[in-house]
Structure 1
Amino acid sequence: MKMIQRALAAAAVCAQCSAPALADTQVQLYGIVDAGVLTQSKSRAGGSLTRVETSGLRQSVWGLRGTEDLGNGLKAFFNLESHFDMDTGALHGSGDSAGSGTILFRRQANIGLSGDWGSLTIGRQYGPALLAHLNTEPRAFKEQFSNLYAWAYNQLEALAGADAVNSNNDVGIFFKNAIQYRNTVGPVSFGVLYSPGEQPGHGSRNTAYAVGAAYDGPVMLSASYQTMKDQASGNRNIEHAGLGGAVPLGAFTLKLNWLQGKNSNADGIRTSKVDAIGAGIDWKWNPQNTATLAYYDNKDKLNTEDHTRNLVLSNDYALSKRTTLYVQAAYVDAKSQSSLKTSIVADGSFAPGAKTTFLNVGINHTF
């Protein structure tokens, strides 16, 4: 999404000169650097594989964000966030439609206003549906071995296919050309996003809509829905929905999450319907360590051989508030036509029709 941030130069100068006493501007450089080693017993190429792996726990990113106090409870803000790979130093590829090129600020490029009424954000940004489930997805959508990738790949088909495209959708996680309203009312936080299609003479073609809500009380609940329309036909080529819940019990947190991705081609014919179910338990067994056991069962109901069952065991050891050592192991039991749509493995490198074990050890640092 292109960040909408242009203003007339004269107006900008006037604004800066008229209220210097009210302006309280803060700009922050921030980021995450994450890398480790990943070993797997089998691969799609046939043999075992060991490699340096970027972003095992969280995505490696760097960004700039800023706020300005405009007075009377009103603030202006911006976000610029880039995604890169630690193993090569290259920018991470995007899930944008073909021909989009290399995107510097793939994750965020936006500007907005906030106040006691909520916030309004314009530009490329995270969708509200994914944000709603952060506390109920069994592994909090960690970059490796979670349903983050079942989510993404179920909304990539319309981009990868030759006959169905929504160019505003980057794997259902990021949206460009988007406008989002967010607010928190008591224990409920929610967001509503709309991305216009920008197709001359066709108001609904290429549009995207997304909503997400989370309740944070004695228990945590989440719900989401988003849909994207085809650029050429205007038919819905992606529909995605989710429900989740989490229950804290002392040092333990139980989690259950259901996601469903439905893809159709440009003619509106359904091509896949994937249910992704995740259940897990977090155990903070001392102040520095959190262990997680999670199970994922992901299946395309239109193709019973596109089905994976996954077991994940991990531990995060906090060396400090900023630095974490992690170890995570996964067991993937994949049927013969298992695809990216049912994958919890970031690059889909598990072997179809086989049982594959993974071990990932790494370090994550935030700044």
Structure 2
Amino acid sequence: MKMSRISHKIHLTFTSLAAVGMLSGLATTTAMADVQIGEVANTQISIYGILDAGILYQDKVTTDGDRKLGVETSGRTPTILGFKGARTLDNGWNAFFNLEAHFDLDTGMFHGSGDAEKEADDGSGRTLFRRQANVGLSGDWGTAIIGRQYGPAILAHLATEPRGFKEQFSNTYAWAYSQLFTTVNDAAGDAGRNANNDVGFFFKNAVQYRHNLAGVDFGILYSFGGQEGSTSEGDVISVGAAYTAGPLTLSGSYQNMRDQQTSEDLVTSWATGAAYNIADWTLKVHFMNTENKDATGAEVLDVDALGLGVDWGWSPKNSATVAYYINEDKAPATSAETRSLVVSNDYSLSESTILYAQMAYVDADDMGVVSRFATSVVANPAPVNEKTTLVNVGLNYAF
């Protein structure tokens, strides 16, 4: 597959990845008021959402130094709309469902997904409930979930990634892009090397077990390959755990995706992180590695992504973050590094309305398209061999 084609496909898939708040939306927005809208057959049905949009300025969009100013959807978290239901069963268990859609507030269109399936040519996507479409049971024994859902690996690191995997200016994109490439196209340009993976965040055809034991919150997910004649071709294993004891949080994860035609390992990733709270300060460190192979077994990506950060709640309504990222692709053919400094502040207008300002200074090496995306902290990577400044101011409204 030619590089130009890779670039086009990646751009269509991720013009503004959500993956994200994916999580950032769930973890860092005092939102999701979970408003009950009705009760049917003893099932309480609720609606929730996050709307996020702002203005983004970038001083260099190309190597020619072109600037850009425009509306940016999902600067802090993704824009989502969700429905959930819960029902208490006679044996003390609970049954539940989750339906969660992802769309772009600047256009109103569905956000393109990262599934290894053909999307609409304009990149708008065809997946209605891109983030969640599942049903499950819970009790004292834990929680079991069946359907399309968040992977436990990414969930494990929400408290330890320097910016909580916020939608922009975090390692959300390094995580997503580094797990997208070989799942979308093989060496011949054919789609579908692992159709269950959506940028390492969301997985379909999946079953997950979650529980919390002695301060360890963990999840184990298996996504069935569903290929005739094989129980391993195209499957996914994802494991994640976070341990909290007083001011300390530790996190770890592992994911493995196999080719749906050969059952060979396609994407393997692991990550670890730590956070420590001291009064109004929280110190964070997070490291992740992702390796990709092409259809011949050759290494396509070998990305190390290190993030260091500190949060400071400097007033009852303000929280500032400073983070530094060093993301490097060590694959022999594409070796390159991107270094990014991020400064941000969230101002709480109310419990679930946040005015945010964030800036990133990105220094990218000379590199190919794949490395450029896989080491990026922004949706559209800064130009190579340039030092680029991006400024984003926006409003995050949750309900």
Q: TM over 0.5, yes or no?
A: yes
- Separation in 1, partners of 2:214, 2:62: 48
Quote how far apart the aligned CAs of 1:109 are.
0.3
Give the equivalent residue in structure 2 for 1:343.
376
Matches within 5 A, 1:292-331: 292-303=321-332, 305-331=335-361
- Separation in 2, partners of 1:351, 1:118: 46
Quote how far apart the aligned CAs of 1:186 are.
2.3
Give the equivalent residue in structure 1 for 2:227.
199
Task: Tell me the secondary structure at the aligned position of residue 179 of structure 2.
Answer: coil
**Is residue 175 from structure 1 mapped to residue 203 from structure 2 by the alignment?**
yes
Task: Check whether the contact 1:232–1:266 (CA below 8 A) recurs between aligned residues.
Answer: no
**Is residue 189 from structure 1 mapped to residue 224 from structure 2 by the alignment?**
no
**Is residue 364 from structure 1 mapped to residue 391 from structure 2 by the alignment?**
no
**Is residue 134 from structure 1 mapped to residue 158 from structure 2 by the alignment?**
yes
Give the equivalent residue in structure 1 for 2:90.
71
- Separation in 1, partners of 2:62, 2:101: 30
Task: Check whether the contact 1:305–1:336 (CA below 8 A) recurs between aligned residues.
Answer: no
Task: Check whether the contact 1:187–1:216 (CA below 8 A) recurs between aligned residues.
Answer: yes
- Separation in 2, partners of 1:153, 1:67: 34
Give the equivalent residue in structure 2 for 1:213.
241
Quote how far apart the aligned CAs of 1:158 are.
1.3
**Is residue 28 from structure 1 mapped to residue 46 from structure 2 by the alignment?**
yes
- Separation in 1, partners of 2:317, 2:168: 21
Runs of 4+ aligned structure 1 residues displaced above 6 Å come to none
Q: Which runs of 5+ in 2 are unaligned?
A: 1-40, 120-124
- Separation in 2, partners of 1:45, 1:279: 28
Structure of larger gyration radius = 1
Amino acid in the other structure paired with 2:226: E
**Is residue 81 from structure 1 mapped to residue 100 from structure 2 by the alignment?**
yes
Please give the per-residue CA displacement for 1:241-293, whole angstroms capped at 9, x wherever unaligned: 00000000000000000011100112322211000000000000011100000
- Single out whichever of 42-51 and 81-90 deviates more from structure 2: 42-51
**Is residue 146 from structure 1 mapped to residue 170 from structure 2 by the alignment?**
yes
How high is the TM-score relative to the length of structure 1? Answer: 0.91
Please give the per-residue CA displacement for 1:303-360, whole angstroms capped at 9, x wherever unaligned: 5653100000000000001100000000000001151000000232x11110000000
**Among candidates 24, 49, 52, match of residue 71 of structure 2:** 52
Give the equivalent residue in structure 2 for 1:5.
none
- Separation in 2, partners of 1:298, 1:245: 18
**Is residue 92 from structure 1 mapped to residue 121 from structure 2 by the alignment?**
no
Please give the per-residue CA displacement for 1:168-226, whole angstroms capped at 9, x wherever unaligned: 00010000000000001121100000011100001110000000000011200000000
Task: Check whether the contact 1:305–1:335 (CA below 8 A) recurs between aligned residues.
Answer: no
Task: Tell me the secondary structure at the aligned position of residue 154 of structure 1.
Answer: helix
**Is residue 37 from structure 1 mapped to residue 55 from structure 2 by the alignment?**
yes
**Among candidates 122, 127, 141, match of residue 117 of structure 1:** 141
Task: Check whether the contact 1:233–1:267 (CA below 8 A) recurs between aligned residues.
Answer: no
Amino acid in the other structure paired with 1:272: L
**Among candidates 283, 303, 314, match of residue 254 of structure 1:** 283
Amino acid in the other structure paired with 2:45: V
Quote how far apart the aligned CAs of 1:98 are.
3.1
Quote how far apart the aligned CAs of 1:71 are.
2.9
What count of residue pairs does the alignment treat as equivalent? Answer: 344
Please give the per-residue CA displacement for 1:1-58, whole angstroms capped at 9, x wherever unaligned: xxxxxxxxxxxxxxxxxxxxxx742111100000000000101374011110000010
Task: Check whether the contact 1:124–1:177 (CA below 8 A) recurs between aligned residues.
Answer: yes
Task: Check whether the contact 2:184–2:194 (CA below 8 A) recurs between aligned residues.
Answer: no
How high is the TM-score relative to the length of structure 2? Answer: 0.84
Task: Check whether the contact 1:64–1:80 (CA below 8 A) recurs between aligned residues.
Answer: yes
- Single out whichever of 150-159 and 121-130 deviates more from structure 2: 150-159
Task: Tell me the secondary structure at the aligned position of residue 393 of structure 2.
Answer: strand
Task: Check whether the contact 1:98–1:159 (CA below 8 A) recurs between aligned residues.
Answer: no
Q: Which runs of 5+ in 1 are unaligned?
A: 1-22
Amino acid in the other structure paired with 1:34: D
Task: Check whether the contact 1:235–1:267 (CA below 8 A) recurs between aligned residues.
Answer: no
**Is residue 104 from structure 1 mapped to residue 118 from structure 2 by the alignment?**
no
Quote how far apart the aligned CAs of 1:232 are.
1.1
- Separation in 1, partners of 2:342, 2:372: 19
- Separation in 1, partners of 2:380, 2:133: 25
- Single out whichever of 122-131 and 162-171 deviates more from structure 2: 162-171
Amino acid in the other structure paired with 2:260: Q
Please give the per-residue CA displacement for 1:96-133, whole angstroms capped at 9, x wherever unaligned: 01325510000000000000100000000000000000
Task: Tell me the secondary structure at the aligned position of residue 156 of structure 1.
Answer: helix
Task: Tell me the secondary structure at the aligned position of residue 89 of structure 2.
Answer: strand
- Separation in 1, partners of 2:350, 2:42: 31
Give the equivalent residue in structure 1 for 2:4.
none
Percentage identity across paired residues of the two chains = 52
- Separation in 1, partners of 2:184, 2:95: 37
Please give the per-residue CA displacement for 1:55-77, whole angstroms capped at 9, x wherever unaligned: 00100000101100113320000
